[in-house]
Structure 1
Amino acid sequence: MTVVTLPQALSFRLNRQHLTKPAADALIAARTLIGAQAQVHSAAILQLRARSEAGAADGDIDRALYQDRTLVKLWAQRSTLHLMQADDLPMILGLRREHVQGYHNWYAKEGLSADQVETLVTAVVQALEQGAHSRMDLSRRLVPILGEWARPMLEHSWGGIIKLACALGHVCHGPAEKACGEGAREALFVHLGQWLGHSLTVPDGRTAMADLARRYLAVYGPATPADFKKFVGFYAGPAQQAFADLGKEIVPVTLSGKKAFVLEHDLPALLAAEPVEGQINVLGLFDPYLLAHADTGQYLEDRFRPAIYRVAGWISPVILRQGRVVATWTHSRVAGPNGTGAWAVQVTPLERVYKKELPAITRGLKRLSGGLPVSVTGV
Structure 2
Amino acid sequence: MCRAAAVAAGAVSGQRKTALSIRPAGPMMTAITLPQALSFRLDRQHLTNPAADALVAARTLIGAQAQVHSAAILQLRARSAAGAADGDIDRALYHDRSLVKLWAQRSTLHLMPSDDLPMILGLRREYVAGYHNWYAKEGLSLDQVDTLVAAVVQALEQGAHSRMDLSRRLVPELGEWARPMLEHSWGGIIKLACALGHVCHGPAEKADGEGAREALFVHLAQWLGRVLVVPDARTAMADLARRYLAVYGPATPADFKKFVGFYAGPAQQAFADLGGEIVPVTLGAKKAYVLERDLADLMAAEPVERQISVLGLFDPYLLAHVDTGQYLEDRFRPAVYRVAGWISPVILRQGRVVATWTHKTVAGPKGKGAWAVQVTPLERVYKKELPAITRGLKRLSGGVPVEVTGV
Please name the residue that 2:45 is paired with.
Answer: 17
Q: Aligned match of 1:125 in 153, 175, 182?
A: 153
1:337 pairs, out of 365, 371, 374, with 365
Residue in structure 1 matched with residue 121 of structure 2 by the alignment: 93
Q: Using the TM superposition, give the Cα deviation of residue 184 of structure 1 relative to its aligned residue in structure 2, in angstroms.
A: 1.4
Q: Distance in 2 between matches of 1:311 and 1:203?
A: 36
Q: Does 1:56 align with 2:84?
A: yes
Q: Which amino acid aligns with 1:116?
A: Q
1:200 & 1:210 partners in 2: Cα distance? Answer: 19
Counterpart amino acid of residue 48 in structure 1: L
Aligned to 1:157: 185
Residue 2 (str. 1) matches residue 30 (str. 2): yes
* 2:301 match: 273
**Structure 1 consecutive aligned stretches of length 4 or more whose deviation exceeds 3 Å:** none
Give 1:28's aligned residue: 56
* Partner Cα separation in structure 2 for residue 93 and residue 360 of structure 1: 39
CA distance in 2, matches of 1:106, 1:256: 40
1:250 aligns with 278
What is the alpha-carbon distance in structure 2 between the residues aligned to residue 55 and residue 184 of structure 1? Answer: 30
1:110 paired with 2:138, answer yes
Measured after TM superposition, the shift of residue 193 of structure 1 is: 0.2
Q: Aligned-pair distance for 1:183?
A: 3.2
Q: Percent identity?
A: 89
Give distance in 2, aligned partners of 1:164 and 1:72.
17
Alpha-carbon distance between aligned partners in 1 of 2:250 and 2:235, rounded to the nearest angstrom: 21
Aligned to 2:20: none
Residue number among 278, 293, 318 corresponding to 2:346 in the alignment: 318
In the alignment, does 2:168 pair up with 1:140? yes
Aligned residues: 379
Is 1:75 matched with 2:103?
yes
Matched to 2:227, the amino acid is: S
Report what 2:72 is aligned to: 44
Is the counterpart of residue 174 in structure 1 residue 207 in structure 2? no
The answer for the alignment partner of 1:228 in structure 2 is: 256
Unaligned runs of at least 5 residues, structure 2: 1-28
1:37 is matched by which residue type in structure 2? Q
Return the letter of the residue paired with 1:125.
V
Cα separation, 1, equivalents of 2:248 and 2:140: 39
Q: Distance in 2 between matches of 1:127 and 1:181?
A: 21
**Correspondence 1:328 to 2:356:** yes
Confirm or deny that 1:260 pairs with 2:288.
yes
Structure 1: how far apart are the matches of 2:164 and 2:210? 15
Cα distance in 1, alignment partners of residues 270 and 325 from structure 2: 24
Match of 1:285 among 291, 313, 316: 313
1:234 match: secondary structure: coil
Give, in whole Å, the separation in 1 of the partners of 2:40 and 2:99.
26
TM-score of the pair, normalised by structure 2? 0.93
The offset of 1:210, in angstroms, is 0.2
Task: Provide the secondary structure at the position in 2 that maps to 1:53.
Answer: coil
- Given the two structures, how large is their TM-score scaled by the length of structure 1? 1.00
Give the superposition deviation at 1:118: 0.1
Cα distance in 2, alignment partners of residues 339 and 67 from structure 1: 31
In angstroms, what is the RMSD of aligned CA positions? 0.4
SS at the partner of 1:203? coil
1:295 is aligned to 323
Mapped partners of 2:149, 2:339: distance in 1: 32
- 1:142 maps to amino acid: L
Q: Which of 231, 237, 246 matches 1:218? A: 246
Deviation of 1:363 (Å): 0.2
Give the secondary-structure state (helix, strand or coil) at the position aligned to 2:373.
strand
Q: Secondary structure at the match of 1:88?
A: helix
